Structure 1
Amino acid sequence: MKRILTTLSQKWPEYLLEILVITIGILGAFALNSWNENRKEAQLERQFLERLSDDLTKDIEEIDVSLKSVIARKECTEFLMKVVENPMLLEENPHYFITSIEYAGYTNKPSISDHTFEEIKSSGRLSAISNIEIRNALAVYYDEIENRKQYDFISQDIQLQYLNKRYGILSPEQQIAVGSFSFETDFTLEDALPVYDRMIGNKAFVAWLPAIAQSQTRSIQVFRALHKRASELKSQVDEELDK
């Protein structure tokens, strides 16, 4: 560069040489600034992707817990429906029968971590994620989560109706026992027989069991689909981080 400037100084007027030096300086500063901005954007994108990956990991864990819970409660519901048709099943597991009356109608919804995505959207920095496929997948995933919220009241209403119809089937002592966090009671067939009689006499409760099973079946399908989508999205994000 020094040799070039020396040669130019011998041939060019001094003011032209000054203009050239200034221009080279401006272009160099612009290039350096552009490099710095690109580096900052790359760092910001990586931070977003790492946080999104952590959020999705938590989502998958939450969905797993909810899915296992709903599957277990559906099994409780199906057991109660079978007992209605075949009272002899009480002898096999009277304890499971009584606890099923308590837990069959409960709902469980995973807590989805959308804080990072909402922060990205609200700050207008979604374009910081350069992979368009990931941006689209994120939008679809979180839109689906948001859309599902409008149906939450249905499962909540089903649970409330179940609880209302269940009252009086268990004895007060049994109700207190199964509702305790330190629940250790082991119910016997002698405990279960009067509960069975009260359950059969509660026509509204018995009639409501298929609706509970149907709701749980839908929840299982939704949670499995959500688990699949979250896992695929996390794989995409992690692959982008590995590049």
Structure 2
Amino acid sequence: MSWLRLMEEHIKSGKKSRVLTLIGEMWPAYLIEVLVIILGITITLALEEWRDVSREERLASIYNKNLQTDIATDLQTLQYTTGNTRALIDRGNELLAFADDPEKAPLSPGRLDTNLQMVLGRPDFISSDPTFSDLKSSGNLHLIKDIRLKNLLFAYYSLVQNIREVQDAERQATIVISAPYFLHAFPLGTGAGAGMPPRQLAALAKDIGFRNNVLLRVSNRKELLEDYERATTLAGQVRDALRAGE
């Protein structure tokens, strides 16, 4: 019988003086029992906290590895998209130089055809972001203890969202403005300008619509190229921070 139960029995029986005597005689035992209860509760809480911390550490490690995989995929995609965007801008600048002065920057029909196909391309960047999206939706962002890493992740994926919006706007501009012009001026498929006679080629250089549409494509891609380069830099910083936090 515990000391609390013993006191209760004595109080019910009306032996209060004996209760006080019992407390005076057995207080060390009572104190030990209280300490044992407190110690048991403390150990239980400590074990629960240890289990929670261990679980969160394992989960944080999984998120770290998955984020590294996503960032590595993005860096590969950015490398491809950036390279193709630079090539598009170079070919567009050739067409603009031809339109400005066909004698100083002449183009053969074959080169015109190659450049047109390149300029009409749309090498877009599609980010792989399932891990960061899960971190936000699941409320697990607190698992990232490194404030710098957390800030880098938000900066990077905010830029990714901005790139997505700019690419969508460029798609609309291409569909609404550029596509109708090029569909009317050139035949579909390859060989758009390959068989163009010299007289028609010379007339093309004077076509304001041709120059304006090529300039629009180049301008849009220059804006995107800057964003791709910034994203590449940020992604590299995120990758390094993730590796440091392993």
- 8 Å contact kept, 1:120–1:126: yes
Structure 2: 5+ residue stretches without partners: 1-25
Q: Which runs of 4+ in 1 moved over 6 A?
A: none
Equivalent of 1:83 in 95, 98, 104: 98
Q: What is the deviation of 1:235? A: 0.8
Establish whether residue 73 from structure 1 lines up as the match of residue 88 from structure 2: yes
1:17-52 deviation line (CA, Å, top 9, x unaligned): 333333322222222221111111111111111111
The two structures, once aligned, show a CA RMSD in angstroms of: 2.6
Please tell me whether Structure 1 or Structure 2 has the larger radius of gyration of its CA atoms: 2
- CA distance in 1 between counterparts of 2:215 and 2:59 reads 51
- CA distance in 2 between counterparts of 1:129 and 1:89 reads 57
Match in the other structure for 1:210: 215
Establish whether residue 166 from structure 1 lines up as the match of residue 182 from structure 2: yes
Equivalent of 2:59 in 20, 38, 44: 44
- 8 Å contact kept, 1:97–1:192: no
Aligned residues: 217
Structure 1: 5+ residue stretches without partners: 1-10, 180-186
User: Within 5 A, what are the aligned runs for 1:51-62?
Assistant: 51-62=66-77
- SS at 1:177's partner residue? coil
Q: Report the AA paired with residue 173 of structure 2.
A: I
- SS at 1:108's partner residue? coil
- SS at 1:166's partner residue? helix
Establish whether residue 226 from structure 1 lines up as the match of residue 217 from structure 2: no
Equivalent of 1:193 in 175, 182, 197: 197
Equivalent of 2:189 in 140, 158, 176: 176
- CA distance in 1 between counterparts of 2:81 and 2:191 reads 20
Identity across matched positions, percent: 20
Q: What is the deviation of 1:12? A: 6.3
What TM-score comes out, normalization by structure 1 length?
A: 0.78
Q: Report the AA paired with residue 176 of structure 1.
A: G
**1:192–1:95 distance in 2 versus 1, CA, 3 Å:** same
What TM-score comes out, normalization by structure 2 length?
A: 0.77
